Amino acid sequence: MDFRKLIYFAFLCIISGISYCQESTVPDTVNTNTKPEITISKSGNSLIKVDGVLSEPVWETCQTASDFVEIEPGDNLPAVVKTDVKMTYDDDNLYVAFICYDDRISKLRANLSDRDKMYSDDYVGILLDTYNDHKQAYEIFLNPYGIQGDGIWTKQGEEMNFDMLYEAEAKIYKDKWIVELAIPFKSLRFPEKDVQQWGVHIIRTRPRESRTQFSWAKISRDNSEFMSQAGILKGFTKLKKGKQLELLPYVIGSQYSFRNEPYDPGSPFINEKVKGDLGIGIKYGFSSNLTGEISFNPDFSQVESDAAQINVNSSSAVFYPEKRPFFLDGANIFNSYINVVYTRMLNNPLYTAKLIGKIDDIDVGYLMGYDQSTPYIIPTKYGSDFIQTDLKSFGNALRLKKSLKGSSFIGFIGTDHETGDSYNRVAGFDGSFNFAEKYYFNWEALGYFSKEMNDTAIYDNSTKINSKGNDAGFNGEKLTGFGGTFSLVRSSRHWNGEIFMNIAPPEARRELGYVAKNDFRELGVWSGYTFYPEKSIVLRFEPNFDAGFQYDYDGRIKEQWFAPKFYVQFKHQISLSGGFLAVNNENYYNVYHKNVHRGWLEMNINTSSKATGGTYLELGKYIVRFEEPSYVGWGWIAEAWMTVKPLHNLVLENNYSYFELAKEKGGEKLYTGYIFRNKTSFQFTRKFFLRLVVQYDSFTKSFDIDPLLSYKWNPFTIFYIGSTHNLADIGTSPNHGRFLETRRQFFAKFQYLIKL
């Protein structure tokens, strides 16, 4: 069977599967999804002390959310443990009390950790859809020690790097644990209405034999609209967020040292003078809906190195996640189906500003920055190059999203990036339309408009990129192109699938976004069926496949693939997944490689409260991309990770990655290498911790050591002192040992949140 017949067969499978599922669906355990309601009452003059004790009389009289159901692994079954949640409010705060009963309190999983590091523990929390439009919700979770975890839920995924201000305390008793929570209305965005009605999910997670989750509202697996199934929180009247001004000044001191000749033990170590710096961030709440923020001389340095990635045989620029708090707050508004805004491209800004919020039913996001050392990602047909420059540039991003019925929306996104007289502008529209309950049409259409700088010393590449004769180098050319992505998605209890088309013209450049490659038209399909066996060690089994092909703009085949895959979830918090590239053909720099088969297998084990981990193995054929002409070699990747918690306040996170590539199976090795990373954290209190990161990269023969001592009054008022050390592996040296320190930095920082 040739590949075209195979891909047509795959399309027929998903279409016939969709038709079948429309006619024959398996009902949920509970036929209807009840939407519970709770009417909240004001606490009056009663003062509430957030201490986890619930001694105030108001807790005896306020309404209670109870009758939780098990949603994982059970399907809306009666909960095996009782959970009660009480809520009240005053002029300033929403108060929530979680009472989590447990007849096996000795099995409680609870650790003292930094915030957002408690998701392997028992935890309880609330999701607040303050606009009740099912598009976005604040997530607040807490473990039995009161360790906070927060984020933003959206239909596209969760933004777990988001931080907000709230107060929480927890206590563990003989037969229950209690969390008391106060959420300032100033920390939330909500409509300016006299009477509020919010969507609310209340979730409790209890990891034992299985990772069991309980929910106040029943959640149907045959309905992918998670927030539309939320309960209703009503009774708020005349909430006032008020205009809020926040100042976040910081002071930092650092001292940098380096060796003139990094690999020469006799080279002198140069110690620069101690440097100090000041900066400030200003945040203003124009209304309960809209917030503006500006930072002058922001400190965007990182307190630990990025986790190293194996990219020796990769043709694309490495993608690193954003970690800087200024860009994380409100980041979800800039998400779209194509990566148009990648904030790490604002590398070292002198100043930045943003506006985040909602005007009527339109989400608004604006971001700008003046960068003092501009990076570039330059995509081509076969990959992308990353270059770092000292050029100054100005960047803007604008995002608008208008809510439609249900989870549907239509939006606009645009960016402008200017360096001297050169520019890169990207603009377009996107949307998602939900129909027939289980189906979504997702799309994004973009236009690319660029004028390159005229300086091949910065980037010189004479490879022709289109029929007009333009090349990839920076030689002052103007480039215009149009592309997009379109997909039809089915999401349901059992049968799920997607048919997608992606278009990236040769002129597609996104200087404020991330681009792995361009010059392709792609058509593909993914489909899977989920089984939920009863009375079995297997909780969930999903066989699936994806297939597709790419052509370049000259009409030549670029890629063809077909991969059957599977996922199995067992009891005892064990999962197994894998797949095989049964068809994998690729044209790389005009060399057509056929039958580049390989398979992979991954296992995760979270059975123990003291140690969790997993492993990944990939084995088979790889295109050797760094030799010319390219050819097919043989290799394998092995990864292992383990988190060990010998004490409730001590965590050791270990990651190991190994990659080996040979000219052929059993033949001459082209390279072998590994990366090992350990992060050890000791939590003295909820606010005070010591962390040590150690990383060795055998590919670059570098060894990094990053100690850090930190005290966090809250997510924004922080003091830390630490250092970063880079050592080179120079082999054996009689007087200096194997490792030679090449550079180091000592630093201390204090920033303080002032609320006016």
List all residues 6 or more positions away from 125 whose beta carbon is below 8 Å from its beta carbon.
139, 140, 141, 142, 149, 202, 203, 204
Rounded CA gap, 607 and 613, in Å?
9
pLDDT at 240 over 60: yes
Residue 136 near residue 198, CB atoms below 8 Å: no
Residue 200 near residue 206, CB atoms below 8 Å: no
The one-letter amino acid at 54: L
Of the two residues 443 and 312, the one the predictor is more confident about is: 443
- pLDDT of 34 reads 74
Instruction: Write the pLDDT tens digit of every residue in 104-114.
Output: 999 999 999 99
* Distances in whole angstroms, Cα of residue 392 to Cα of each of 64, 174, 300: 57, 61, 16
Confidence band of 735 (pLDDT split at 50, 70, 90): low
List all residues 6 or more positions away from 275 whose beta carbon is below 8 Å from its beta carbon.
253, 254, 255, 256
Confidence band of 407 (pLDDT split at 50, 70, 90): confident
Backbone φ and ψ for 20, nearest 5 degrees, come out as: -60, -45
Instruction: Specify which residues 253 forms β-bridges with.
Output: 276, 748
Q: At which residue do the structure tokens 């180091």 appear? A: 744
- pLDDT of 21 reads 41
Please give the CATH topology (third level) of the domain spanning 32-237.
Answer: Immunoglobulin-like (2.60.40)
* Distances in whole angstroms, Cα of residue 464 to Cα of each of 123, 315, 450, 454: 56, 18, 16, 17
Q: pLDDT averaged over the chain? A: 90
List all residues 6 or more positions away from 560 whose beta carbon is below 8 Å from its beta carbon.
3, 7, 548, 549, 550, 583, 584, 585, 586
Instruction: Write the pLDDT tens digit of every residue in 697-707.
Output: 999 889 999 99
Instruction: Write the pLDDT tens digit of every residue in 270-328.
Output: 999 999 989 999 999 888 788 999 999 876 665 555 566 666 667 777 777 887 778 87
What is the total residue count of the chain?
756
Instruction: Write the pLDDT tens digit of every residue in 333-389.
Output: 999 999 999 999 999 999 999 999 989 889 999 999 999 999 999 999 999 999 999
* Distances in whole angstroms, Cα of residue 755 to Cα of each of 163, 282, 289, 309, 713: 16, 10, 18, 40, 14
Confidence band of 33 (pLDDT split at 50, 70, 90): very low
| Most distant CA pair in the chain, distance | 80
Domain spans of the chain? 32-237
- pLDDT of 5 reads 52
DSSP string, 595-662: ---EEEEEEEE---SSEEEEEEEEEEEEEETTSSS-EEEEEEEEEEEEEEEEETTEEEEEEEEEEEEE
List all residues 6 or more positions away from 726 whose beta carbon is below 8 Å from its beta carbon.
702, 703, 704, 741, 742, 743, 744
Average pLDDT on 49-75 reads 93
pLDDT at 29 over 50: no
Q: Three-class SS string for 348-401?
A: CEEEEEEEEEEECCEEEEEEEEEECCCEEEEEECCEEEEEECCCCEEEEEEEEE
